[in-house]
Amino acid sequence: MKNKGKLLLTLFLITWAVFSIVLFVKQAPNYLVKSYFQSDTFQSTKESFIDQLGHYVLMPFDAEKAKETINVTQGEIEEYRYRYGSLTEQVESIQSQYRGRIMEAEESKDSTLKELLIEERDKKIADIKANFESDDYVKEKIRKQKEQLIDEYAAEQEKYKKSFLNEFSYFSYHFVNIDNGKKFESGTQQKSDLFTESYEDKNPLIVNNSVNINSYDNNVYSEVQDTIPEFQIDGESARYEGSFSIPKSMLSSSNLGTDYQYFNIAKITFIVIWVTGILAIVGLFTFARPKMDMFRESSNVKDAFLRLPIDVRIILIIVVSFISFGLMEYIGNSLINNIIYFNPINLITSSVEELIFLFIVFISVAAIIFGITWTWDSIKNEPKIEEQLKNAMLYRLADGLRDLFLNRSLGVQSVAILIIFFLAGIGFVGASYSVELLMIYILLLFFIGLPAGILFLRRIGYLNRIMRQTEDMARGRLTNDIKVKGKSPLAKHAANLNALREGVKKSMSEQAKSERLKTELITNVSHDLRTPLTSIITYTDLLKNPDLTDEQRKQYIDVLDKKSARLKTLIEDLFEVSKMASGNIEITKQKLDLTQLVQQAIGEHEEAFSLSNLELRILMPEEPLYAYVDGQKMWRVIDNLIVNTLKYSLEGTRVYVTLKQIESNIEFSVKNVSKYELNENVQELTERFKRADASRHTDGSGLGLAIAQSIVDLHNGRLTVEVDGDLFKVTVTIVGNS
């Protein structure tokens, strides 16, 4: 409780000190002077008196002299003459004005009215013709209009002179025209006067009586303003010496005394505030010395404040600072008004209002101090200030604008629509003040605002449809395409989502296929490994029989040897395919003759082809075909493809082995008639453990094409499988080197 009391006292002293400093800055120039007569208020009054004294008393406006100086320029004559058009246009205008009225007089048989109208019309036409015939005629008309304006101006000046003499009656003056000795006096001057200001020959009062007739400053409004907007009357300058003063007697008999008294009261009031402000500052350095820990206590308000972005916190502190300083200035001005316009009832109401505002200032200053302390601690103690800056509202706004313009067309359209809506709101307010603006607003709304609104609603509707169908895609419903409308960015987005949908469908299909092949792989691996392993276990048990004959033992050992070799080959092929699929295999390329390589591979299997009752047909060039390949790996490809034909070709058919060059590529193909029905997906034949012999009666591992495919991929080549009925063809294409 004691700490809270000290905190409130400290905050109050800080508030009062700041309040007194603000009032000092604003009011010290007006009240820290020797007397009322040095204040800005009186200086402004004095300047106004001197200006009007010269204008209304020392050198008053002389209408007759002004008329003598009237000058009419050729430009004014031409402007007056052609103001309503050319001669023919003005005559036609007059005739059209009177034509209807004359016809009405004729129809009513009023000959007298008709004659008067014709006479009036002809007089105006004659006046117009005279305007175009003589410059002197126009010049005289302009002169008379200027004389009329001068008379109106002189009458207004007389009114202002009376008002001036009444308003500044507390001034007494004594001036002499240095050039002609003419004197101007009002009242008497004494040494005891409250204020006196003198002008000497070396520093005279200079007055110029040049005027601008019909200017708005003089509040002269006349019918001739339409033809003579304004003109300058060049007057004379004169020098005066003398002085003006304010007698003591005027303090009690004029408004000056009241102003003088209120000034002194206000001065004392502000001095009291400033002195107490100094005492508050002293208190802050002594018994109420603030400590930063006083403002660091945890609270729900602090937690909520620190959750705001850092720039929002800073902006709030600045806004509250401006509000508090504005309220301080308002309170100071309100004090002056209460003193000047003293009214007991208003004083009570205003005092209550000032106390309320002062309490608001206290809350604002406290909020500023706490806000600055908490913000500074969060910056100083935060290990990663970059995170706070990235969470700032302005940073996120800039980031959002950057994302908005990732698609420039969509960004420009969005900004344009926002500007149109903003201007539409401003236009609605302006249209409520004027019928003309309302008509313009309706036209702009119909031709710009309405189309922009329709476009915006259509785009939002289209976006909602895209979002709904995207949600369906996320839930796995991939049946319907998103309709593509037009060529807008949203239409492009819809097209991209359709492409993504197709990709997802394909990916799901590939995933299903992969799952199926994985299941088949596990099944096939298990079967192909278990078959030789079972034979090995069985014949090993048979060998344990001591009653076996040598012939039987030899026969069993041959079976074990074959099954072990089969198991070894299967495992080696499986490891090799795995290494190739994972990319953990290196190839060493060198320039090799593929013609020779194919001949060697065929040569090793010629006897097998003869025993298999297959007719081998070889088509290859006699000249060498060179390519940069890994000889050992490429031998494996050729050998696997030839061995496949031996295993899966129909007996009594032909096998075609072809090697040829097509442009810069070398193409090797093997074509045969399959002994098994090829009803599987042809591309799956290159998968691991996939065999044309689905019943797995043959001795193959199902890895031949998979290994060949992997080796060809490592050489950046292409392996394709084609099936036409029972006709099976495998083609390997690699880049040649001539």
For position 216, what pLDDT does the model report? 42
CATH code of domain 586-735: 3.30.565.10
For position 602, what pLDDT does the model report? 87
For position 731, what pLDDT does the model report? 92
Query: What proportion of the chain, given as a percentage, has pLDDT over 90?
Result: 11
Q: Which residues of the chain have pLDDT under 50?
A: 1, 215-221, 686-698, 700-701
For 481: left if phi > 0, alpha if psi spans -120 to 50, otherwise beta; the answer is beta
Q: For every residue of 276-340, which 3-state class applies, written as one string?
A: HHHHHHHHHHCCCCCCHHHHCCCCHHHHHHHCCCHHHHHHHHHHHHHHHHHHHHHHHHHHHHHHH
For position 670, what pLDDT does the model report? 92
For position 40, what pLDDT does the model report? 79
* Tokens, residue 384: 């990663």
For position 38, what pLDDT does the model report? 82
For position 305, what pLDDT does the model report? 81
CA–CA dist 646, 174 (Å, integer): 140
- Would you report the helix, strand and coil content of the chain in percent, each value rounded to 5? 65, 10, 25
pLDDT in tens, 142-163: 889 888 888 888 888 889 888 8
Q: How many CB atoms lie within 10 A of CB 254?
A: 18
pLDDT in tens, 160-205: 888 888 888 888 899 999 988 899 988 777 777 788 889 988 889 9
Number of H helices, E strands in the chain: 23, 14
Which amino acid is present at 486?
A: G
CA–CA dist 413, 486 (Å, integer): 15
